[in-house]
Amino acid sequence: MPFKTRLLAVVAPLTFGVALALPLLVPSTASAHRGWMVPSATVLSGEGAWVGVDAAVSNELFYADHNPMRLDAVVVTAPDGSVEKIQNPATGKYRSTFDVQLAKPGTYKIGSAVSTITASWTQDGQVKRFRGSPEDFARQVPAAAADLKTIKSFNRNETFVTRDAPTTTVFAPTGKGLELVPVTHPNDLVAGEAATFRFLLDGKPAADLEVTFAPGNSRYRAAPGDFKVRTGADGSFKVTFPEAGMYWMNAVVRTGETGRGPGGPGMGGPGVAPGGAQPPATPLAGDGMSASYTATLEALLP
């Protein structure tokens, strides 16, 4: 992590005041584990088109150097809105891979939307903890639990591929979590041209949301090249991709108690194992929610 090291070296000798800001700075840059799905192509032509997808959680983009992405929750939404399974899935040490056949013309969404509830409550004088799906929450956590505190998170991680002309069926909002609404189609991105996107949070415009873009090929760049933009009141923002390539896009909304430090949930999408009830008997500090959105986008040469 050369960037982190350089940051420390430059900032530390200044003042204590500046040094205090460091813990907030670092997770958003150098030490963020970022979940991604990179398709072998995003713009395809003709019948018989397939893409292979690499999926991993890593620091450098897009190098599988940390953990494979879990594929349990990854599905394919076809241009007609039908949901299909991924094909030939395999999970290795550092990355998962799978295939998607583009049997129909139009735009496919490949991704996961994972809803997780973390909860604590008191039962028989003991603190109980839960982490899992809303369905398991309803089954396993008593409805009238004492001191019940919940953190609800909704994490999306997506990429898009188009065979022949782009379509927009897969972007129909569901009203859950953070969702991308294309003004510019995500498979119609060209380096140097301004693109417009819009974010919705639970179906409403996600205003004043910070959106991070990080280009791939970071290993061969002196500085990572990340940049941030902010949504307006209607949840929309403009972005111009400086050069052709794959980009990682991420936005996170947190309110209330989220039980984690900065840069916590959402970065890895479905990389977090659900259902693993942790025994540390400490109650949550309060109620909260988080929603994250991650996508891998490709900007083509003009």
Partner 1 sequence: MKRSPPKLSMSLLTFAGAAVATPALAADLAVTVEVPRLTVAEYHKPYVSIWIENPADATAAGTLAVWYDAGSKEDKGVKWLKDMRQWWRKAGRAMSFPADGISGATRAPGPQKLLFSGAKGPLKDLKPGQYNLVVEAAREVGGQEAVRVPFAWGKPGKPAVAKGATEVGAVTVAVK
Which residues 175-214 are close enough to bind partner 1 by CB under 8 A?
A: 188, 190
DSSP 6: H
Q: How far is the CB of 168 from partner 1 (least distance, A)?
A: 14
Looking at the DSSP assignment, which residues form a beta bridge with residue 196? Answer: 238
Bond from prior residue into 62 cis (ω within 30 degrees of 0): yes
Which residues 37-56 are close enough to bind partner 1 by CB under 8 A?
A: 43-49
Site string (97-136) toward partner 1, x via CB under 8 A: ----------------------------------------
Q: Is the dihedral of CA 115, 120, 121, 122 positive or negative?
A: positive
Which residues 137-166 are close enough to bind partner 1 by CB under 8 A?
A: 162, 164-166
Number of residues in contact with partner 1 under rule CB under 8 A? 16
Largest Cα span, the chain: 66
17 binds partner 1, rule: CB under 8 A: no
291 CB contacts (<8 Å, ≥6 apart)? Answer: 153, 154, 155, 177, 178, 201, 202, 252, 253, 266
- Taking the mean position of all CA atoms in its chain, how far away is CA 5? 26
Residue nearer to partner 1 on the CB measure, 49 or 211: 49
Q: What is the DSSP string of 9-31?
A: HHHTTS-HHHHHTHHHHHHHHTS
Residue nearer to partner 1 on the CB measure, 48 or 279: 48
Which residues 241-300 are close enough to bind partner 1 by CB under 8 A?
A: 300
Residue nearer to partner 1 on the CB measure, 229 or 244: 244
Residue nearer to partner 1 on the CB measure, 99 or 287: 99
Q: How far is the CB of 173 from partner 1 (least distance, A)?
A: 25
Residue nearer to partner 1 on the CB measure, 52 or 256: 52
Q: How far is the CB of 203 from partner 1 (least distance, A)?
A: 31
Residue nearer to partner 1 on the CB measure, 22 or 165: 165
Q: What is the DSSP string of 173-228?
A: --SSSEEEEESS-TTS-BTTSEEEEEEEETTEE-TT-EEEEEES-GGGSSS---EE
Binding site for partner 1 (CB under 8 A): 43-49, 162, 164-166, 188, 190, 300-302
